[in-house]
Structure 1
Amino acid sequence: MAPPRLFPSNEELSKKDDDHKPGAKGPMVWKTTQRAVTHLHIRVVKRVALGAIILVAFYLFFLNMPTDLKPPRQRPNYLHSGDTAHKGHESNPPPPSAGQDASSVKGYIDGNRIPEERTFEGPIKFYELATTLHEVAVKTSGSNVFNRNIVFAASSLSSASILLPLACEMSSQNRNYVHFALMGRDDISIDILKDVNRVTTECKIIFHDARPDLGPVSTDFRMRVSVSAGFGHVHKFIHPQATIIDSSGEEDDFFILGLKHRAGILGSTIIELPGNAEQNMLWLTMLDSASLNAWNRARIDMLVHAPTESSGSLIRLLNSLKKADLFSSAPPRLIIELPNDVDETTKRYLENFQWPPKSDSNTGSLLSIHHRIPQKVLSPEENSVRFLESFWPADSLGSHILVLSPRVELSPLFFHYLKYNILEYKFSANKYEADNLLGISLDVPAKFLDDKIPFIPPKSENSDYGKTPNLSPYLWQAPNSNAALIFGDKWVELHDFVSRTLASQHKSSASTASAKTVSKSYPSWLEHVLQLSRVRGYFTLYPSLKNLDSLATLHNELYQPPEEYKDDLYSEDPTSELMANPAKYKSLAKSEVPLATKSLLKTLPRNGVLPKISEMPMLTWDGETTDLKGLMGSATLRATIFRQEVGVCPAGAKVKDQRPGMTDDLFCQEIVA
């Protein structure tokens, strides 16, 4: 039976009127109609309720819409410098094309880029690295622990643009095999990287793509692990003698942390370059792999002996040290030896003096101040002992001492010059030529050690110096006390030499030991350095700079003679109250010279290329031109005389073999019993 309908059909409309009158059938019709109305009401209510539920659901969904839904992955887009992000349906600009000027690299890197979620932490794969490492491993002797391989490494494209010109310059020197490893997350191709930075085939750089798969979407932790693992592969196949990175602040943290961690485990040398490296650090590109390997081993300490009433001179020296460009090298330790009587001006200055300057280093204080106890005037012997006891090298081959007079003022480039020369002459593959090199002077002397005869630097016969032969550095057997570095191994030997010499003086009246060759206007310890140089055939390297610039200049207006000779000099010339008579002491007549402030390579002759020892002019202590063979011949004769007169050795006694750091071959055993 069909259910009753709410509205009757047309057939019902045609029924007679009496069918609708109340009667026996009336109640049934009414009930049927009532049920239909009730059913309709329920259906309407259900629909309204369902609609309300749907509306509430949509409201709650939009109110609590999730924010971590990932957009579809898109390839990274680089914009050129000066471009803006394209809007709407506009297409993105292409990456830099071949031959684009390198100055636009920063814009290429820093332009707006479609962000990608960096959440991937899966296994790391290097799809491009194995090929290049295998290709060059044999060609560059990569399996050997010692080789000629140097690596420049970067993750940031900004850092790559800083390092690539330096890498190209180093490669052009033909002293090293130069590699470049890209270890970041950017997916720029190596070819485009080279084009943008104008790296041509003439650069001869060996590129390694050490980027992991899925770098753009990798977490920083995965990238850090990738850098560490990638550098491990590089080290295994080519054993770089040094890895050079950018420390200007452009690099990614994950790269710095990952590389340093793995390098520390492997014991590999890391060289961090400052932001101005392309202008001021080009001398680094001229060093060979052996020198660069010793970058962190070569250290310098500085020693200043301050006389009484020397506040003006000392403060001027310390202010010049604060202006020095220490680049990113380990800053030197500074040792200041104060007299018993220290003036108030010096005390107040030292209370606030910080070394190294806070802005230059995070290593903490490297300042040591020693205050003398004895009030009496020191004798020449006591002063020599005090001087030598002020420093001792923990590593005799890597630690060196720069001795400074308070009268000196230094160029901001002095640290560059010293580090460059130390690495070249003490650690390079040609270091054997510098076995007899005692140290490096920053001061160019104006007189001989007798302080009477003016000194004129020798001329170079080497044609490489062209029309300015006087610009050659030279080797002189005479040491320097104003501003000179003494190598650690030679300092150890000097220490032993003075110890044995003083013991000999106490036991005999040795004429050679007591003879005074050096003027009393110089400190007493310089006499011992000269004696050692003469018996060993040692010499000191003196600089020669362009444009009459200097690495150090002397101020003589506040000159004070050495404490141990002050009474002697005053008795010789009681009319000279300050002991500063230029007519008598030629060293005081030297005029002040301008200090070098340009980059080191623009200051040195031959475009900064350091000459070999055999190429430089060489002088004996008294100014005679000689060569290494002649110098060693004179040293042999001098040593024979010294053994007899100071070492108290009988004529014809067998000479003991010379040992590193020792001078016992110059003395007979009973002298030091």
Structure 2
Amino acid sequence: MLGKVMLPGDEELGKKDDDHKYMPARRSGWSIWNHTFRWRRRRLVLAVVGLGFVYMLLSVFQGRNMSLGQPVMPGYHTSYGYDDKHEPKGAPPGAQSAGSTESHTFDGRIRYYRLAKTLRKSAAHTNGYDDKNRNVLFVMSSLQSASKMLPMICEMSRWNRNYVHAALMGRVDIPVQELLQLNGIDDTTCPATWHDARPDFTEYSTDDRAHLAVIGAMGHIHNMLHPQAVIMDDAKSEDDFFVRGMRNKTEKLGTTLIEVPKDKWDQKENFSWLTRLDGGSLKNWHSSTVDILIQVPSDSSNVLRLLKSIKDADYSGMKPPRIILELPAQLDEAVKRRVENFEWPPHRTAAESSGFIIRRRIMNHRATQEDAAMRFLELFYPTSTTKSHVLLLSADAQLSPLYYHYVKYMLLEYRFSEYGKEDSAKVMGVSLELPEMLLDGKTALMPPKVIDMHAERFKKLYKTTPSAPFLWQAPNSHATLYFGDKWAELHSFLSNRVVKHQESIKAVSRAKLVSETLPAWTEYMLEFMRARGYALLYPAKMSEALVTIHNELYHIPEEFSPKPKDSKDSIPDPQLDDGPFLRGDAAPSRPPNHAELPIIPSSKALHLALPFDGDLPEIPHLPHLLYDGKIVELGQVKKTAHEYADSFRKEIGGCTIPKGKKRKVVKGEPRDLFCYGDEEEGEWVDDVEETTGEKLAVDVGTKTMSTSGGAQPTPTVIEADED
């Protein structure tokens, strides 16, 4: 390659060749030396660049294995790739003795000498490098918080649903093993992984250095473990620099941070149910919202007792639900005044918006079953079908102070658990009440026993438990949490159901299966549940209840109540003889039978009030009841639902099903239950089961013919459908 000195200068480019005298191509000694120097200089530059590239590769490789994650702050650098054997002892130069505020003066470089060893070991066998895993992290800074969190850490480890990690941060300079020994904890009884995430000279650190050390340690832990949730003590019990650091870093990382409320574990263990949840549930601790929906009948003051029980309940560490209250046109003045002065959520500041929504009807008149059902369902619609849910409460209900703990526990376990969310696809919601009667209001309900469960573990461990939770294909209007996606699907179902009934000239009223002591919308919900194979999860029979339904001021649903003889209402009754469901000869005159059990007090922990020590069974392990109270196998539920759906499509949906075809079912959409004559070819699919059945019939006939002496035909091979 030629150097620039061998090229003519720019000013010579325009001259002719004969303007130059012929000269031999010789270079001076300086020119040759200069060219050689520049040639070597390029080699030197390339060598430096190569070394820099190698250094960058080594840095990246080292960063992947050491999970740098240090805070980018001027004047600070953090690293944890040091051996604890080389950690400096004693005070840093110029520092006073530890233990006093004056000693918090060191703001030097941050190093973690004791963190790398445990993180590297844990990351490999817990899939810590993956974003999705089973890691749950407890963090603590003060000794006071550590003493409260240690039992919680060990309790979660005992349930063995997560890889439990605990990280000690802060200024306390006590060895982790010594801390565990002082609290009587060993690896056998408490198989958690302990991490010492404190920096060097931790007890001498300034507040800023301690704050940055928390952020840096959390960055290292996140890179190596990717915890699904981080759990810490109440902010009032922890160091301020620690609380600020954890909140800032977890928010930046998008990691769920759960703060255990003050005195909710060490005194009454009210949060013990949290230790039974897996990482998938804990990750969604803040994801879901719950709206309480209350429809108040005329001349009812029971709602005041309900509102008081809602206000007196425990919402520590959780976001209180929003309340939607529908009031009648005619309302007692005292009730109106009390409702107007009701503050929600409790202890809210002036900057917080109210979570109490009041809706009031304009007129009171007897509505049809369709009108009453539509009006009720229109009171709520989820903002998100996966995160927004509704808790339906009767005005006659009185709640336990722990009711919201139960709602939160059930919602997290059966909607977000990595172990059970797939099995919960057919669960429409969770009832807080255990009815005493079937839907007809006449026959007593016989709750399933533990022996009816499909899990030997529960049968062996809890032989003396009188009752078990169960799935029941029956709606509940007294106290039930309905999941947002199922409520939205019910909305669509009712819309199509009403349209088909109103359009049909030959619409025939169906027999009513639900007692008229329950509102009209429950009959529609029963149809929907039977067609989809959905069920509600009902609680086991307990000595103390999550909710009590009071009977003294019972009101018949407005759509079924008779018109008073002395009524001056000029609005005529709606036409009832062409309704979707046949009415009884007379409205029920007596209230339903409800045993008013005492509610679970706030002094009792939730897991102690529930059966099986608060262990929630998986959905396939639960007994399953049809709407009439008969226990069926879980596999039979799907078959029963298919048969009912086919019958519903023909009788109500107006469908003429082509031979060998069936409607395509789209998840979350009930449109396949109804036909309007505009169905496209893609909305029908081959009915494999029907075709298989016909082939089986042909094979049976063929075998019979061959045994009678005819020629042996070629057999038909049929592969069974796995669905």
Pick the TM interval, shorter chain. 0.7 to 0.9
CA contact (8 A) 2:135 2:162 kept: yes
SS at match of 1:445: coil
> Separation in 2 of the partners of 1:444 and 1:336?
24
> Separation in 1 of the partners of 2:365 and 2:593?
31
CA contact (8 A) 1:331 1:356 kept: yes
> Separation in 2 of the partners of 1:512 and 1:237?
65
Match of 1:650 in 2: 656
SS at match of 1:588: coil
Note the residue ranges of structure 1 that are not aligned, 5 or more in a row: 1-69, 77-112, 572-582
TM-score, normalising length from structure 2? Answer: 0.73
Match of 1:594 in 2: 598
CA contact (8 A) 2:450 2:463 kept: no
Comparing 516-525 and 554-563, the one that deviates more: 516-525
Taking only the aligned residue pairs, the percentage that are identical comes to: 42
1:603 equivalent in alignment to 2:589? no
Report the alpha carbon displacement of residue 248 of structure 1 after superposing the two structures with TM. Answer: 5.8
CA contact (8 A) 2:389 2:482 kept: yes
Match of 1:247 in 2: 234
CA contact (8 A) 1:505 1:513 kept: no
1:441 equivalent in alignment to 2:456? no
Report the alpha carbon displacement of residue 122 of structure 1 after superposing the two structures with TM. Answer: 3.0
Deviations 1:361-417 (CA, angstroms, capped at 9, x unpaired): 995421111122344333322221222121121221222111000001111111111
CA contact (8 A) 1:185 1:215 kept: yes
Comparing 451-460 and 483-492, the one that deviates more: 451-460
Deviations 1:551-605 (CA, angstroms, capped at 9, x unpaired): 111111111111121127999xxxxxxxxxxx96776332311111221111111
SS at match of 2:665: coil
Match of 1:477 in 2: 473
Of the three residues 446, 452, 457, the one matched with 2:442 is 452
1:248-267 map, 5 Å: 249-267=236-254
1:171-210 map, 5 Å: 171-202=157-188, 203-210=190-197
> Separation in 2 of the partners of 1:419 and 1:361?
27
Match of 1:226 in 2: 213
Seen in structure 2, the aligned counterparts of structure 1 residues 512 and 625 have a Cα distance that, compared at 3 Å, is farther
Seen in structure 2, the aligned counterparts of structure 1 residues 399 and 555 have a Cα distance that, compared at 3 Å, is same
> Separation in 1 of the partners of 2:485 and 2:509?
23
> Separation in 2 of the partners of 1:301 and 1:179?
34
> Separation in 2 of the partners of 1:570 and 1:117?
86
Comparing 559-568 and 370-379, the one that deviates more: 370-379
1:355 equivalent in alignment to 2:344? yes
Match of 2:371 in 1: 382
Report the alpha carbon displacement of residue 466 of structure 1 after superposing the two structures with TM. Answer: 3.4
Deviations 1:107-131 (CA, angstroms, capped at 9, x unpaired): xxxxxx5443323333322222222
SS at match of 1:152: strand
SS at match of 1:138: helix
> Separation in 1 of the partners of 2:433 and 2:343?
25
> Separation in 1 of the partners of 2:479 and 2:650?
34
SS at match of 2:430: strand
> Separation in 2 of the partners of 1:567 and 1:154?
63
Report the alpha carbon displacement of residue 625 of structure 1 after superposing the two structures with TM. Answer: 1.1
SS at match of 1:558: coil
Report the alpha carbon displacement of residue 511 of structure 1 after superposing the two structures with TM. Answer: 5.3
1:314 equivalent in alignment to 2:341? no
Deviations 1:201-222 (CA, angstroms, capped at 9, x unpaired): 1211111111222332323222
> Separation in 1 of the partners of 2:94 and 2:304?
65
> Separation in 2 of the partners of 1:668 and 1:331?
42
Deviations 1:222-250 (CA, angstroms, capped at 9, x unpaired): 22222122111111110001001111620
Deviations 1:277-313 (CA, angstroms, capped at 9, x unpaired): 24111111111111111111133211000111112x0
1:615 equivalent in alignment to 2:615? no
CA contact (8 A) 1:155 1:255 kept: yes
- State the number of aligned residues: 555
Of the three residues 113, 127, 135, the one matched with 1:149 is 135
> Separation in 2 of the partners of 1:555 and 1:336?
19
> Separation in 2 of the partners of 1:569 and 1:179?
67
Pairwise CA RMSD of aligned residues? 2.5
Match of 1:109 in 2: none
Seen in structure 2, the aligned counterparts of structure 1 residues 363 and 618 have a Cα distance that, compared at 3 Å, is farther
Comparing 555-564 and 381-390, the one that deviates more: 381-390
CA contact (8 A) 1:302 1:334 kept: yes
SS at match of 2:236: coil
> Separation in 2 of the partners of 1:334 and 1:422?
18
SS at match of 2:318: coil
Match of 1:110 in 2: none
CA contact (8 A) 1:159 1:246 kept: yes
Match of 1:659 in 2: 666
Match of 2:225 in 1: 238
TM-score, normalising length from structure 1? Answer: 0.78
1:565 equivalent in alignment to 2:554? no
Structure number, greater radius of gyration: 1
Match of 2:512 in 1: 516
Match of 1:134 in 2: 120
> Separation in 1 of the partners of 2:160 and 2:463?
27
Seen in structure 2, the aligned counterparts of structure 1 residues 454 and 131 have a Cα distance that, compared at 3 Å, is same
Deviations 1:405-453 (CA, angstroms, capped at 9, x unpaired): 0001111111111211111111112221111111111111011111122
> Separation in 2 of the partners of 1:569 and 1:251?
64
Note the residue ranges of structure 2 that are not aligned, 5 or more in a row: 1-91, 454-458, 567-586, 681-723
> Separation in 1 of the partners of 2:628 and 2:105?
73
> Separation in 2 of the partners of 1:530 and 1:211?
58
Seen in structure 2, the aligned counterparts of structure 1 residues 412 and 545 have a Cα distance that, compared at 3 Å, is farther
1:634 equivalent in alignment to 2:640? yes
1:159 equivalent in alignment to 2:145? yes
Match of 1:325 in 2: 314
CA contact (8 A) 1:648 1:668 kept: yes
Of the three residues 411, 414, 417, the one matched with 1:428 is 417
CA contact (8 A) 1:440 1:484 kept: yes
1:505 equivalent in alignment to 2:501? yes
Report the alpha carbon displacement of residue 484 of structure 1 after superposing the two structures with TM. Answer: 0.6
CA contact (8 A) 2:446 2:629 kept: no
CA contact (8 A) 1:137 1:143 kept: yes
CA contact (8 A) 1:464 1:606 kept: no
Match of 1:82 in 2: none
Match of 2:526 in 1: 530
SS at match of 1:181: strand
SS at match of 1:556: coil
CA contact (8 A) 2:517 2:588 kept: no
Letter of the structure 2 residue corresponding to residue 521 of structure 1: T
> Separation in 2 of the partners of 1:672 and 1:384?
28
Deviations 1:487-531 (CA, angstroms, capped at 9, x unpaired): 111111101111111111110157577542212211111111111
Letter of the structure 2 residue corresponding to residue 341 of structure 1: Q
> Separation in 2 of the partners of 1:554 and 1:120?
63
